[in-house]
């Protein structure tokens, strides 16, 4: 019995050892299989990752090759040309009324106020430049798409009234020049202000302005503000440098333009006020002796403003359509304002509506020029209302909203830093 038990236990131990060795062999085989599968998976993942990276790099290279980047044109000729284009806009009709503003408040106070207005406008221009570089927009209408609808409507309405008032002032100056030019050829005049200009409405409006202006300095300040209200002209003019041009080059153009504009305004204001004193006319050309040189200057003014007047009408029409588009009277604001190269034919403006709006703007500006022929009052009214919005409020709002997320529809490789 004892021997049988020992033999049974011995065979059980041998059987257990054989099973243990078999289990160890299976475990080793499973470990080898798992290790091989892990290595294969790692190699497959690495190859897929490498392939995906190569594919992404190839797509990025193809996309960069398909995009067209204009090299910034920062040559001296381009910088000078852009500066001259801006000077054409910054030295507008307000320059003619500046001697009267200086004569009202004195040459010293006028110089101080003009320097203060210049400093504020220069600072607002730098804010506007940063906003344009960040958002890649080149107009006030484009910048308005980055702000709230209420603020955008305020800016559009201010722009519409500002350019409309500017067109009225152009017609007034052209009419005065025609009066002098035609009277120099003989008796009578082809153009005059008409009986309405001498009516009670004209004097009532002047009286209202005089009541609002408590002092001579305050009466002169809106005209001084109007002289530098050219912020909306800078974004499209600076685009001629081909963004992405560096901030330093654009800063140089803005500084040069503003300092030359300041020098011209100081020269005209001081010389005109010191030469004629309180007898200076709202249009300084009316104070000059009517010699052949002055008549030639008037003719040049007529030609310059006559060619600029259609641009004022175009800007009025553009902002008017922006207002209508924002009021959902037109499907989309961008479709109503900008016709892309690949835009379908249905987006083209209705010719009848285009003509009707143009005739309405031209006719109403002509009527206002006849009823309200005092350019000094026009400049004061615009300088105290719309110029404040366009020169100081709008650039600050655009700069504040410059970091808002916007769609990159312009095809630029990267966004500029907001600290430019």
268 belongs to a structural domain: yes
**47-61, 66-80, 374-388 — most confident range:** 374-388
280 belongs to a structural domain: yes
pLDDT confidence of residue 313: 87
Q: Looking at per-residue confidence, does 72 or 256 come out higher?
A: 256
> Which of 75-89, 196-210, 219-233, 306-320 is predicted with the least confidence, judged by mean pLDDT?
196-210
Q: How many Cα neighbours within 13 Å face the side chain of 283?
A: 22
196 belongs to a structural domain: yes
> Which of 147-156, 281-290, 330-339 is predicted with the least confidence, judged by mean pLDDT?
330-339
> Which of 152-156, 191-195, 229-233, 396-400 is predicted with the least confidence, judged by mean pLDDT?
191-195
Q: Looking at per-residue confidence, does 86 or 190 come out higher?
A: 86
Q: Looking at per-residue confidence, does 196 or 276 come out higher?
A: 276
Chain segment 225-269, per-residue pLDDT in tens: 888 888 888 888 777 665 555 667 778 888 888 999 999 999 999
If you average pLDDT over residues 279-291, what whole number do you get?
84
pLDDT confidence of residue 34: 79
Chain segment 85-95, per-residue pLDDT in tens: 788 778 878 88
19 belongs to a structural domain: no
If you average pLDDT over residues 144-160, what whole number do you get?
89
If you average pLDDT over residues 148-165, what whole number do you get?
89
- Confidence band, pLDDT 50/70/90 cuts, at residue 195: very low
118 belongs to a structural domain: yes
Residue % of the chain over a pLDDT of 70: 73
pLDDT confidence of residue 311: 83
- Confidence band, pLDDT 50/70/90 cuts, at residue 208: very low
417 belongs to a structural domain: no
For the chain, how many structural domains are there in total? 1
pLDDT confidence of residue 119: 93
- Confidence band, pLDDT 50/70/90 cuts, at residue 138: confident
pLDDT confidence of residue 277: 84
37 belongs to a structural domain: no
pLDDT confidence of residue 418: 38
If you average pLDDT over residues 139-161, what whole number do you get?
88
Closest among 171, 170, 162 to 231, alpha carbons compared: 162
If you average pLDDT over residues 294-320, what whole number do you get?
84
Dig out the tokens for 257 from the structure. Answer: 């333009």
pLDDT of 325 > 90? The answer is no
If you average pLDDT over residues 282-306, what whole number do you get?
83
pLDDT confidence of residue 199: 43
Cα 280 to chain centroid distance, Å, stands at 36
Instruction: Please provide the average confidence, as pLDDT, over all residues in the chain.
Output: 75
164 belongs to a structural domain: yes
CA distance 276 to 379: 20
If you average pLDDT over residues 8-26, what whole number do you get?
76
If you average pLDDT over residues 342-363, what whole number do you get?
69
**Which domain range does residue 100 map to?**
71-339+347-400
Dig out the tokens for 263 from the structure. Answer: 């020098």
Q: What angle do CA 332, 333, 334 make, to 5 degrees?
A: 95
């Amino acid at each position: 019995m004892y021997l049988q038990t020992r033999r049974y236990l011995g065979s059980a131990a041998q059987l257990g050892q054989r099973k243990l060795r078999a289990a160890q062999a299976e475990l080793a085989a499973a470990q080898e299989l798992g290790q091989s599968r892990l290595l294969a998976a790692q190699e497959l993942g690495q190859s897929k990752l490498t392939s995906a990276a190569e594919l992404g790099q190839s797509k990025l290279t193809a996309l960069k090759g398909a995009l067209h980047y204009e090299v910034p044109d920062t040559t001296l000729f381009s910088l000078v040309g852009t500066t001259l284009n801006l000077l054409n806009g910054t030295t507008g009709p307000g320059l003619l009324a500046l001697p009267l503003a200086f004569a009202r408040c004195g040459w010293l106070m006028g110089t101080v106020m003009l320097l203060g207005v210049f400093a504020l406008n220069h600072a607002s221009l730098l804010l506007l430049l940063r906003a344009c570089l960040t958002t890649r927009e080149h107009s006030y209408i484009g910048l308005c798409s980055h702000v709230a609808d209420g603020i955008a409507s305020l800016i559009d309405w201010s722009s519409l009234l500002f350019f409309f008032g500017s067109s009225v002032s152009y017609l007034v100056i052209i009419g005065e020049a025609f009066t002098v030019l035609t009277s120099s050829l003989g008796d009578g005049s082809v153009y005059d202000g008409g009986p309405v200009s001498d009516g009670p409405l004209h004097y009532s409006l002047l009286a209202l302005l005089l009541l609002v202006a408590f002092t001579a300095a305050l009466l002169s300040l809106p005209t001084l503000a109007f002289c530098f209200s050219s912020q909306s002209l800078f974004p499209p003019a600076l685009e001629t440098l081909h963004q992405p041009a560096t901030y330093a080059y654009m800063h140089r153009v803005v500084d040069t333009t503003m300092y030359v504009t300041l020098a011209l305004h100081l020269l005209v204001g001081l010389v005109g006020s010191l030469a004629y004193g309180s007898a200076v006319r709202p249009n300084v050309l009316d104070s000059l002796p009517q010699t052949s040189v002055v008549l030639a200057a008037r003719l040049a003014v007529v030609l310059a403003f006559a060619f600029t007047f259609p641009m004022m009408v175009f800007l009025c029409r553009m902002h008017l359509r922006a207002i209508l588009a924002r009021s959902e009277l037109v499907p989309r604001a961008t479709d109503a304002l900008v016709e892309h190269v690949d835009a379908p034919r249905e987006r083209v403006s209705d010719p009848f509506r285009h003509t009707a709006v143009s005739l309405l703007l031209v006719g109403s500006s002509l009527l206002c020029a006849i009823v309200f022929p005092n350019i000094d009052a026009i400049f004061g009214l615009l300088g105290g209302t719309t110029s404040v919005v366009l020169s100081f409020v709008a650039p600050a709002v655009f700069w504040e909203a410059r970091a808002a997320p916007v769609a990159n529809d312009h095809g630029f490789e990267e966004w500029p830093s907001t600290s430019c």
